[in-house]
Structure 1
């Protein structure tokens, strides 16, 4: 690992399972020296490395822009389920919101590494039948065009939370008894939140040649030295 590079990251989605797990791991890693969480509500975590800004409207960051400069990473874990949502509404909160935040950050931090959490099955062609996959694919494609130092698209499958996490979807607990079977037959689709967090940190300290990271790529990058 390049120990000369210290990670100063902005993090979104800290009240969700992935975001909370990434936050906790960042606070535990010596290569991360500062975390700025942008939330709509308090994340409930306190730490000397952590600063939190409460923002009611992510489409209007003008009041906090001065506090968003000076970071070399963004771990964008904010997202919503598409279940029950129309495409227009899902596009508003997935595509438009993400691109608005990203464009603001790249203007303030052109040397930033931007990591975006999408999901396995994301449709880069933007032409498939799955609405969420098309919208996520469009979001990925536009993020990769922005002039960040690097942008990485994270496509996790089944995610195992970190012990002690509070924000975990109930279905994760229902699936827990089947984890040994998943590891045996579906290991290429499994990762831990810790591995996702370490992979994100390593995009800054080490880097990856692949802009789109599937589960195998993430797990390998998490273990990189």
Structure 2
């Protein structure tokens, strides 16, 4: 399989990228981003791109892939809705439209989050915008899957971009075995998330909108033969 990853320098994306690089069936991984990952691997190639609302200039370089794992996102804290919408709606839709135009059978796996609301009724701005994004992606392509993890434990060694997340990771990561026992339906890891995306790409998924329990179950599923 050949995979494209967006957001590979973020907490979620670092684990998803690692899952792709470890998987024997994945032959090529293309990371699209503004910041280098700092990783060196025989499977890995990085494509620097600045304008995430327009992929025309790199369209040809995005052809020939089986799946896109879209992990790019930002916190809504302190952001006004128009600015948040650009990152959380315009960016993924622009990527999906371009990728579908050059890869008609591409699987598009999008990370939103627990609490995302596709009904448009919630007062939480982020949940409503993410819900609109999910709905648009689901309508666009039958091979799109929405991943809604709750608490994500990062891959050991994950490099966070903010001091707050650095502190959080230091506390949460050692507690993962306990949290998994106490809250198995609400806790996953960034590596398991990547493995679930790979399984959905290969074999499909029981549903197109996947909560934490679905993600863990999908990651644990044996490959089809």
Could you give the per-residue CA deviations for residues 85-144 of structure 1, whole angstroms, max 9, x where no partner exists? 011111111111111111111111110000000000000102201110000000000000
1:28 and 2:28 correspond? no
Shift, 1:176, TM fit: 4.1
Matched with 2:106 is 112
Matched with 1:94 is 88
**Contact kept? 1:95, 1:138, Cα under 8 Å:** yes
Pick one of 147, 158, 166 that aligns with 2:151: 158
TM-score scaled by length of structure 2: 0.92
Pick one of 200, 206, 211 that aligns with 1:209: 206
CA distance in 2, matches of 1:18, 1:163: 12
Matched with 2:76 is 82
Shift, 1:181, TM fit: 4.8
CA distance in 2, matches of 1:28, 1:17: 17
Pick one of 69, 73, 90 that aligns with 2:67: 73
**Contact kept? 1:195, 1:219, Cα under 8 Å:** yes
TM-score scaled by length of structure 1: 0.92
Pick one of 183, 186, 189 that aligns with 1:189: 186
Pick one of 29, 33, 48 that aligns with 1:39: 33
**Contact kept? 1:20, 1:167, Cα under 8 Å:** no
1:128 and 2:122 correspond? yes
1:57 and 2:57 correspond? no
Q: 1:95 to 1:64 in 2, by over 3 A?
A: same
Shift, 1:180, TM fit: 5.2
Matched with 1:167 is 160
Structure 1: runs of 5+ lacking an equivalent: 1-6
